[in-house]
Each structure stands twice: as structure tokens, then as C-alpha cells.
Amino acid sequence: MIAGMRPDLDGRVFRSVSNTDNGEVGEQTVFRYRQSGDLVSADYAGGSIVAGHLIAIMDAGGDLDMRYHHVNAAGALMVGTCRSRLEVLADGRLRYHESWRWLSGDGSEGESIIEEPRG
């Protein structure tokens, strides 16, 4: 990918590689992305997430402004907002550095990283 070129996330799969303790996404959570123009969405599940969905707008640099919601293993409906900053790894895989905040629950903030798995 040429530097500064916006990626196409359609059909890409990401996994969580780190999250702060107040987050619910973990290493077993898998995200399956779709994209049409600036509109990005994904379904996610695994670990403590029964089912989740996110919707985002991608800027010219590939960063995402998103809202997400999911049902966790305790049966609670959780909602939040997230800003995701794109990093292109040396091997061409994509990684997103996420700064998020719960809009439900305690309203706390956190940081997480998701990336495309190797292979």
C-alpha cells in the first residue's frame, strides 16, 4: 500500500491484540469488516462478546470514527464510541490503535489495538 493511500477494509478480518482492563473485547474476539466508500461496518463476536456490530466513517488517511454496540456474556447491552488510528505494519498487515469510551455502564475510557492476523 502506498503511504497516504486509504485502505479498503471490505472482507478483512481483525483480532484484538490488547485492551485496557475496563474493555470487553479480548483475544478471542474476531471482527469481520465491510466497506462501501467512506462507510465501514463490522460484525464481531468471541470471548465475552456474544454478538456485536460497529459502524464508522473513514477519513482520507484511513482513520475511523465509529460507534459500536454489543451484547456481552452477562446479557448486558453495551454501547460506545471509538476513534481508531491506522498503522500499516512492515509486512503490509493493518493495525488500528483505538481510543474508546463507553456510552453505557460506567462511561469510562480505554485503549485497545486490533490487527489483521498473520497468514
Residues 10-40 have pLDDT tens digits of 999 999 999 999 999 999 999 999 999 999 9
Cβ–Cβ < 8 Å for 14, 82: no
Residues 34-54 have pLDDT tens digits of 999 999 999 999 999 999 999
Cell of 79: 454501547
Q: What are 32's strand-pairing partners?
A: 13, 43
Domain coordinates in residue numbering, the chain: 13-115
Q: Which helix (H) or strand (E) holds 15?
A: strand 13-19
Q: What are 100's strand-pairing partners?
A: 82, 110
Q: Nearest 5°: CA angle at 92, between 48 and 9?
A: 55
CATH of domain 13-115: 2.40.128.30
Cβ–Cβ < 8 Å for 44, 31: yes
